[in-house]
Amino acid sequence: MTRDFSPKERLILFDTTLRDGAQTAGVDFSLADKRHIAALLDGLGVDYIEGGYPGANPADTAFFQDPPRFGHARFAAFGMVKRAGRSLDNDPGLSMLFEAKADAITFVAKAWDYHVRVALGVTLEENLASIGESIEAAKSRQREVILDCEHFFDGYKANPSYALSVVLTALQAGARWVVLCDTNGGTLPHEVERIVAEVCARAPGDRLGIHAHNDTENAVANSLAAVRAGARQIQGTLNGLGERCGNANLTSIIPTLLLKPDFSEKFDIGVPMERLSSLAKISHTLDELLNRAPNRQAPYVGASAFATKAGIHASAVMKEPRTYEHVAPESVGNKRRLLVSDQAGKSNILAELERIGVKLDKDDPRLGRLLDEVKQKEALGYAYEGADASFELLARRVLGDIRDFFEVERFRVDVERRHNAQGDLVTVSEAVVKVRIDGETSISAAEGEGPVNALDLALRKDLGRYQRFIEDLELVDYRVRVFQGGTDAVTRVLVEFRDASGETWSTVGVSANIIDASFQALTDAITYKLLKAGA
Ligand SMILES: CC(=O)SCCNC(=O)CCNC(=O)[C@H](O)C(C)(C)COP(=O)(O)OP(=O)(O)OC[C@H]1O[C@@H](n2cnc3c(N)ncnc32)[C@H](O)[C@@H]1OP(=O)(O)O
Ligand SMILES: CC(=O)C(=O)O
């Protein structure tokens, strides 16, 4: 076998999370968010960070008045080229860009003749003149220039010579990079590869970039196709944020470039291998800042990216993880999970038991009993893959490894709508719980925001000698799912608790009655805490 020892080429990563990502429906970055995310990106090692659009809104303008200091990245400001029919000095948008404290200016310009006529209403020549003049003006102000050719691929398909003339005009005017944008996101990988190769025959690939939108879910594939064809800059965003269906997801592209030999043997990128393990954390931090639930199925960084549910898969993963993992989860800061569910086999159960410190042989008859119990409960609606603590309690009960700390003899929950002392109409929930501990009974009552809250408060009010172990319990999540529909609907309740140590655990309850399902989940959560505390 021959090995290629030629030096690697440098591939440039341009992040537009703070600009195109800000065009995501439901996303609204504050100035503090922008500073936080920019610091994460710089720490990761991307080459350019596009901070926003100065003049578009106060946060973006302020960001460029007091720019962040980066260790590695260059800071780019985005805006339109000069409007046709105006002088350079009489274009407020351009003035804002020139005033912005940025290393680079990313101009956006139309590369599709149809757009020039319809959206701008100017001639093709006027558009080229605006592009050339704007770039020269920015260069004369010592700015590096990037030209984003909006609609390049649609434009190239409709009128290749005009689309190319936009690219060549920009290069001649001194743009460092000309970025071919699939603005409407409808171009497919084989088209991108062909068109970029054709452009590379007329312009140097190390001055060409790709900016792909994800409307056919091909933005990552299109970016890689463009690199294969010769482009040497990739634009993208963290978690694939961006207009409509988003942009090329750098959270997927970066590990692909570092871990897949077809790319890693040919290219160097600014992200060092040792920082790759911070990727999952960065992705989740962004979600946290935006108050968005992380995408569990996100490649590389999602909670399910290395989660194995099927028994056949789990059995092989336990023998050798590579059997079902295309890369090691730790390389991107993620972790392997073998889930317990109705798709599980003994291997899944063994792995989960090992996680909680219980060692069993695969031929131990209790293992088969536990698997049967899991499958029967799941058939009733229980879901253990999201309820680690309930699984542990079930397992320990089947293994005869746990005692009942308390017994709830009965509970009652009332919901009453009535006028309060001020005459306002209010809905009041009250719960009463009778608990037996070591032969002694106690009765507790509590009012709550709703019936489940009242039940939770009453249940945790007086657990006798166990009370001190549950003082630091905090309910952090409560989720209800109703399934089967109709009058025989079954309710599944999942609750998540946390204690002062920061540990969280989840439990599940299932019943036709939502209060009963909640009660099961709550009692499991308290029992788990007592078990954990060694009560
Ligand atoms: C493909 C992309 O993602 S491009 C990025 C788009 N991002 C944004 O638009 C976010 C920030 N935008 C904004 O805050 C505002 O749109 C502003 C401040 C830029 C402009 O606001 P307004 O002056 O009110 O204009 P409006 O948004 O209604 O329309 C855009 C104008 O820019 C013109 N324009 C669009 N692209 C270009 C271009 N490349 N070169 C010159 N002019 C352009 C349009 O023709 C239109 O002008 P018109 O109404 O006279 O025809
Ligand atoms: C520039 C840009 O965001 C686009 O063309 O999609």
Which residue's alpha carbon is at the smallest distance from atom 13 of ligand 1? 56
- Give the C-alpha distances (Å, rounded to integers) separating 472 from 228, 406, 467, 477, 506: 56, 18, 10, 16, 16
Which ligand is the nearest neighbour of the Cα of 81? 1
DSSP code string of 289-353:
HHT----TT-TTTSTTTTEE-SHHHHHHHHH-GGGT-SS-GGGGT---EE--STT--HHHHHHHH
What pLDDT is recorded for position 486?
Answer: 60
Here the ipTM equals 0.95
CB-ligand 1 contact for 60 (6 Å cutoff): no
What pLDDT is recorded for position 485?
Answer: 60
What pLDDT is recorded for position 264?
Answer: 98
DSSP code string of 476-515:
EEEEEEEES-STT-EEEEEEEEE-TT--EEEEEEEESSHH
- Residue 81 reports pLDDT greater than 80: yes
What pLDDT is recorded for position 489?
Answer: 84
Q: What pLDDT digit, counting tens, does each position of 32-68 carry? A: 999 999 999 999 999 999 999 999 999 999 999 999 9
- Residue 123 reports pLDDT greater than 50: yes
Which residue's alpha carbon is at the smallest distance from atom 4 of ligand 2? 183
| Residue range(s) occupied by CATH 3.30.160.270 in the chain | 407-532
What pLDDT is recorded for position 425?
Answer: 93
CB-ligand 1 contact for 50 (6 Å cutoff): no
CB-ligand 1 contact for 22 (6 Å cutoff): no
pLDDT confidence bin for 487, thresholds 50/70/90: low
Residues 6+ apart with CB under 8 A from 509: 492, 493, 495, 516, 517, 518, 519, 520, 521, 522, 524
Fold for the domain defined by 407-532: Double Stranded RNA Binding Domain (3.30.160)
- Residue 423 reports pLDDT greater than 90: yes
Neighbours of 189 (CB within 10 A): 18
Task: Please state the separation of Cα 346 from the chain's center in Å.
Answer: 32
Of the candidates 511, 512, 528, the one whose C-alpha atom is nearest the C-alpha of residue 520 is 511
Ligand 2 center–CA 308 separation, angstroms: 37
- Residue 1 reports pLDDT greater than 50: no
Query: Do 53 and 28 form a contact (C-beta atoms < 8 A)?
Result: no
What pLDDT is recorded for position 66?
Answer: 97
What pLDDT is recorded for position 495?
Answer: 95
Query: Do 445 and 431 form a contact (C-beta atoms < 8 A)?
Result: yes
What is the 3-class SS of 252-305, one letter each residue? HHHHHHHHCHHHHCCEECCCCHHHHHHHHHHHHHHHHHHCCCCCCCCCCCCCCC
Mean pLDDT score across all residues of the chain: 95
What pLDDT is recorded for position 535?
Answer: 87
Query: Do 177 and 208 form a contact (C-beta atoms < 8 A)?
Result: yes
Angle at 497 between CA 297 and CA 452, to 5 degrees: 105
Q: What pLDDT digit, counting tens, does each position of 151-183 carry? A: 999 999 999 999 999 999 999 999 999 999 999
Which ligand is the nearest neighbour of the Cα of 149? 2
| Residue range(s) occupied by CATH 3.20.20.70 in the chain | 12-290
Of the candidates 14, 11, 73, 4, the one whose C-alpha atom is nearest the C-alpha of residue 205 is 11
- Round to the nearest angstrom and report the end-to-end CA distance of the chain: 64
Q: Write down the pTM of the prediction.
A: 0.86
Range in 23-27, 376-380, 481-485, 505-509 with the lowest mean pLDDT:
481-485
Q: What pLDDT digit, counting tens, does each position of 465-483 carry? A: 999 999 999 999 999 998 7
Which residue's alpha carbon is at the smallest distance from atom 3 of ligand 2? 20
Q: What pLDDT digit, counting tens, does each position of 200-249 carry? A: 999 999 999 999 999 999 999 999 999 999 999 999 999 999 999 999 99
Ligand 1 center–CA 83 separation, angstroms: 10
The encoded tokens of residue 240 equal: 């694939």
Distance in angstroms (rounded) separating the CA atoms of residues 269 and 257: 8
High-pLDDT (> 90) share of the chain, % = 93
Domain 12-290 of CATH type 3.20.20.70: yes
pLDDT confidence bin for 7, thresholds 50/70/90: confident
Pairwise pLDDT comparison (385 vs 163), residue with the higher score: 163
Which ligand is the nearest neighbour of the Cα of 237? 2
Which residue's alpha carbon is at the smallest distance from atom 42 of ligand 1? 83
pLDDT confidence bin for 291, thresholds 50/70/90: confident
Which residue's alpha carbon is at the smallest distance from atom 21 of ligand 1? 56
What pLDDT is recorded for position 480?
Answer: 93
Of the candidates 286, 512, 192, the one whose C-alpha atom is nearest the C-alpha of residue 381 is 512
- Using most ligand atoms within 8 A of CB, pick from 211, 215, 241 the residue to mutate for ligand 2: 211
pLDDT confidence bin for 5, thresholds 50/70/90: low
Q: Contacts by 156-163 with C-beta closer than 8 Å and gap 24+?
A: 156/111, 156/195, 156/199, 157/191, 157/195, 158/112, 158/113, 158/114, 159/112, 159/113, 160/198, 162/111, 162/113, 162/124, 163/111, 163/112, 163/113
Q: What pLDDT digit, counting tens, does each position of 342-375 carry? A: 999 999 999 999 999 999 999 999 999 999 999 9
Of the candidates 62, 65, 51, the one whose C-alpha atom is nearest the C-alpha of residue 106 is 51
